[in-house]
Amino acid sequence: MILINSFKTPIEILGFLLIFGCTVGRSDTRYIEGLNVNLGEALQFLREYDREASTMCNRVTTGQWQFVTNVTDNNRRKMLDEQTLKAKFDRASWRKAVSFAWSRIPDPLARRQLKMLATRGRNSLTDDKFNEIYHLIAEMKELYTRTRLCPYTESDQNCDLVLDPDINKIMAQSKDYKELSYYWRAWHEAIGPPLKNKYMRYVQLANQAARLNGFADAGDQMREDYEDDSFQQNIAEVVSAITPLYKHLFTFTRRKLIDRYGDIIRKDGPLPAHILGNMWAQNWQGIYDIVQPFPAARKLDVTLDMMLQGFTPLRMFQTAEEFFTSMGMIPMPPEFWRSSMFEKPVGREVKCTASAWDFCNRIDYRIKQCTAITMEDLFSTHHEMAHLQYYLQYRDQPLLFREEALPGFHEAVSDAIGLSVITPQHLHRIGLYNNSTDDYETNINFLLMMALEKVTYIPFAYIVDQWRWRVFSDGVADMTTRWWELRLQYQGIVPPVARSENHFDPASKYHVPADIPYVKYFVGIVLQFQLFESLCEVAGHTGTLHTCDLYRSREAGRLLSDVLSAGSSRNWKDTIREMTRGRTDRLDAGAMLRYFEPLAQWLRRQNQMEPVIGWITSQEDTEILSSVSALFAHWYKGGCNCLKPSLMILAMIFNTFYSFM
């Protein structure tokens, strides 16, 4: 339980605003701010904040590191204590920040930092409500992470299957329609129903906090991170641009799934959500073995070569470091080599998910990874080290600017490096792969694998926050219906079994109950291709984009360092403009489409005989899938809802129309 000594009731907040002033002229008037315009005091406050917040951040990060590298109750308690102290500190800092008339502070960098402090978080809530939402989110996360399932096979009665890795692995590997349906349903129904009421209260409190802070609702507050009034339009345009490629991939995959599962899948219909290799159908890598275009072509796997060459975890990290230094970028500091965890230790429990750590003191940077000698872990090593490279590049910024340029850019940078490292060209240059036999079929296989990871993810990464923002703005009625409307419209998928509002399916995705914004993953996918293409261009790469390797390009290293070193000290549009050398300051699907163009051409040829590119929803779906009946029946049965065209009807018209283009 955390206790924070600030406001007690909304009346006190009102009193506070009356004493300190609330809104003043100029552009940022809708947010809470006070009357103090003294620049000297503002700079003094920010200096103190930087020092204290860095110490606080270091303590919290150290507590987290100690817990995840040695999971004990005692370490968990210490970590939670540090987090509670930090929450108190953040709350006190917010109060000081909003005592300034920050939108009128003349120094732009000071104004930007004060705005960050004033507009983020939920500190405008009273103590009671702040504590309530804090504990509500903790409870929802706890319920999610503690959920265990019974196995499908009746003989085995140990009901202790966890989502990660057990159930995720089954969803990716099993090809048994009924088994997959069992796990899909069991997971959704273990999570959604018990979380629904808690989530509704959370929506109420999050909205209250946002409104007290001057936002229209909590979605509006989340979007503030993007500092761009046309952000919604920008991402909608990106989705539209990627949709034709997605539909071609969808159509090709549907045919392969029909070959596998038979006519339980309609040849022009949507796909059942549970057979795409992932609990949320968010990426389809799990069904590569079904979809693979040329099974006989050579596979890209250097694991054996790594073993034969005597690779160790340490050597994998040295190889990754050499990638960055070959581009003239920053080597890993001594603390990194001294304190990182490269291997799973014996004798104590650790959390093995690979991660990159910034200890907020400009000295200590670490990676935690239970490294195995595999190609996959070699890529992961480069990915995590790219995060550290970003930390190192912006380390001279004040703490508030030691962040990614916009949410999603950290992942974009690491993934862009991944696009280079994964090429046969790069693996050949570091002596792990003989690419002399590379041919068209190998390239198409490779691009299809990448598309199952990245193209299929675009509609899912888009809809999570579209759904969440609509709940925040329009209310909590019909939350599950709206979820499936979006799933059908953008992903072309339907639930494998009948749903009702009580099922509350969106909660099956951790980021929903855990209050973690999701659109950043969408941004990350799109920007990684924009960044990759720009870096390849300055590196002088010619030929198809998917074969570009940035290794040893000092020019690419220089551009990347310049882009990263600004952190979040400026609007991200300036960063994108610098990154693309003046070409654009927006999210743009062009680079991603160019990367996949050879595959798109191949898919268009494969789909020539298909009657529908994409999906048409019809009454048959309810019959064939016996699934959407309860929830979607009113759209099909000519009931009163048919009179007003719902989003679903629009989705059907939209999809049918586009299918023939």
Long-range contacts of 520-523 (CB under 8 A, 24+ apart): 520/407, 520/408, 520/411, 521/408, 521/411, 521/457, 521/461, 522/235, 522/238, 522/408, 522/458, 522/461, 522/462, 522/465, 523/235, 523/406, 523/407, 523/408, 523/409, 523/412, 523/587
Q: Closest distance between Zn ion and the C-beta of residue 131, in Å? A: 32
Q: Closest distance between Zn ion and the C-beta of residue 635, in Å? A: 40
**112 to 131, contacts with Zn ion by CB under 5 A?**
none
**Which region, judged by CB under 5 A, interacts with Zn ion, from 157-165, 276-284, 346-354, 409-417?**
409-417
381: contact with Zn ion by CB under 5 A: no
**Which region, judged by CB under 5 A, interacts with Zn ion, from 107-115, 196-204, 226-234, 411-419?**
411-419
Q: Closest distance between Zn ion and the C-beta of residue 519, in Å? A: 16
**Which region, judged by CB under 5 A, interacts with Zn ion, from 221-229, 253-261, 414-422, 615-623?**
414-422
For residues 413 and 651, which CB has a smaller minimum distance to Zn ion in the complex?
A: 413
- The footprint of Zn ion on this chain (CB under 5 A) covers a number of residues equal to 1
Residue type at 583 in one-letter notation: R
For residues 49 and 324, which CB has a smaller minimum distance to Zn ion in the complex?
A: 324
**CA–CA dist 452, 463 (Å, integer):** 18
* Beta bridge pairs of residue 357: 366
Please give the full DSSP string across 72-139, using - where no structure is assigned: -HHHHHHHHHHHHHHHHHHHHHHHHHTTB-GGG-S-HHHHHHHHHHHHSSSTTS-HHHHHHHHHHHHH
Nearest residue to Zn ion by CB is: 414
Residue type at 406 in one-letter notation: L
What does each C-alpha distance from 58 to 63, 86, 134, 174, 362 come to in angstroms?
Answer: 9, 10, 22, 43, 10
Structural contact between residues 248 and 604, judged by C-beta atoms closer than 8 angstroms: yes
Q: Closest distance between Zn ion and the C-beta of residue 183, in Å? A: 27
Backbone φ and ψ for 149, nearest 5 degrees, come out as -115, 155
For residues 408 and 424, which CB has a smaller minimum distance to Zn ion in the complex?
A: 408
**CA–CA dist 403, 474 (Å, integer):** 32
For residues 415 and 549, which CB has a smaller minimum distance to Zn ion in the complex?
A: 415
For residues 414 and 425, which CB has a smaller minimum distance to Zn ion in the complex?
A: 414
Residue type at 411 in one-letter notation: E
**Which region, judged by CB under 5 A, interacts with Zn ion, from 284-292, 407-415, 447-455, 551-559?**
407-415
Cis peptide preceding 165, ω within 30 of 0: yes
Strand ranges inside 445-531, DSSP E: 493-494
* Beta bridge pairs of residue 368: 341, 355
For residues 186 and 563, which CB has a smaller minimum distance to Zn ion in the complex?
A: 563
Helix then strand count (H, E) for the chain reads 26, 4
For residues 64 and 414, which CB has a smaller minimum distance to Zn ion in the complex?
A: 414
> SS3 for 479?
helix
Question: Which among 297, 273, 67 is positioned nearest to 185, based on CA atoms?
Answer: 273
**312 to 371, contacts with Zn ion by CB under 5 A?**
none
Question: Which among 451, 463, 520 is positioned nearest to 491, based on CA atoms?
Answer: 463
In degrees, rounded to 5, the angle at the alpha carbon of residue 182 between the alpha carbons of residues 181 and 186 is 115
**Which region, judged by CB under 5 A, interacts with Zn ion, from 14-22, 122-130, 406-414, 629-637?**
406-414
For residues 282 and 414, which CB has a smaller minimum distance to Zn ion in the complex?
A: 414
Do strands 493-494 and 271-272 pair parallel, antiparallel, or not at all (unpaired)? parallel
**132 to 171, contacts with Zn ion by CB under 5 A?**
none
What does each C-alpha distance from 597 to 244, 427, 535, 544 come to in angstroms?
Answer: 12, 23, 19, 9
Structural contact between residues 635 and 649, judged by C-beta atoms closer than 8 angstroms: yes
**Which region, judged by CB under 5 A, interacts with Zn ion, from 183-191, 365-373, 408-416, 510-518?**
408-416
For residues 381 and 414, which CB has a smaller minimum distance to Zn ion in the complex?
A: 414
**576 to 635, contacts with Zn ion by CB under 5 A?**
none
Structural contact between residues 296 and 304, judged by C-beta atoms closer than 8 angstroms: no
Q: Closest distance between Zn ion and the C-beta of residue 369, in Å? A: 11
**CA–CA dist 291, 453 (Å, integer):** 13
For residues 7 and 359, which CB has a smaller minimum distance to Zn ion in the complex?
A: 359
**30 to 49, contacts with Zn ion by CB under 5 A?**
none
For residues 186 and 386, which CB has a smaller minimum distance to Zn ion in the complex?
A: 386
Strand ranges inside 275-395, DSSP E: 355-358, 365-368
Return the sign of the alpha-carbon dihedral for residues 309, 310, 311, 315.
negative
- R_g of the chain, CA atoms, integer Å: 26
For residues 2 and 450, which CB has a smaller minimum distance to Zn ion in the complex?
A: 450
Q: Closest distance between Zn ion and the C-beta of residue 468, in Å? A: 22
Structural contact between residues 601 and 450, judged by C-beta atoms closer than 8 angstroms: no
**CA–CA dist 607, 594 (Å, integer):** 20
Strand ranges inside 447-515, DSSP E: 493-494
Q: Closest distance between Zn ion and the C-beta of residue 380, in Å? A: 9
Q: Closest distance between Zn ion and the C-beta of residue 149, in Å? A: 28
Q: Closest distance between Zn ion and the C-beta of residue 453, in Å? A: 14
Q: Closest distance between Zn ion and the C-beta of residue 33, in Å? A: 35
Q: Closest distance between Zn ion and the C-beta of residue 414, in Å? A: 5
For residues 389 and 414, which CB has a smaller minimum distance to Zn ion in the complex?
A: 414
Q: Closest distance between Zn ion and the C-beta of residue 387, in Å? A: 6
Q: Closest distance between Zn ion and the C-beta of residue 398, in Å? A: 24
Q: Closest distance between Zn ion and the C-beta of residue 353, in Å? A: 10
For residues 286 and 524, which CB has a smaller minimum distance to Zn ion in the complex?
A: 524
For residues 414 and 456, which CB has a smaller minimum distance to Zn ion in the complex?
A: 414
**Which region, judged by CB under 5 A, interacts with Zn ion, from 154-162, 412-420, 484-492, 615-623?**
412-420
For residues 113 and 414, which CB has a smaller minimum distance to Zn ion in the complex?
A: 414
What does each C-alpha distance from 388 to 50, 322, 366 come to in angstroms?
Answer: 21, 14, 8
Q: Closest distance between Zn ion and the C-beta of residue 511, in Å? A: 15
For residues 197 and 353, which CB has a smaller minimum distance to Zn ion in the complex?
A: 353
**Which region, judged by CB under 5 A, interacts with Zn ion, from 61-69, 362-370, 410-418, 523-531?**
410-418
Q: Closest distance between Zn ion and the C-beta of residue 368, in Å? A: 12
**Which region, judged by CB under 5 A, interacts with Zn ion, from 397-405, 413-421, 435-443, 597-605?**
413-421
With CB under 5 A as the contact rule, the residue among 113, 414, 534, 553 that binds Zn ion is 414
Q: Closest distance between Zn ion and the C-beta of residue 523, in Å? A: 13
Instruction: Please give the residue ranges that form the binding site for Zn ion (CB under 5 A).
Output: 414
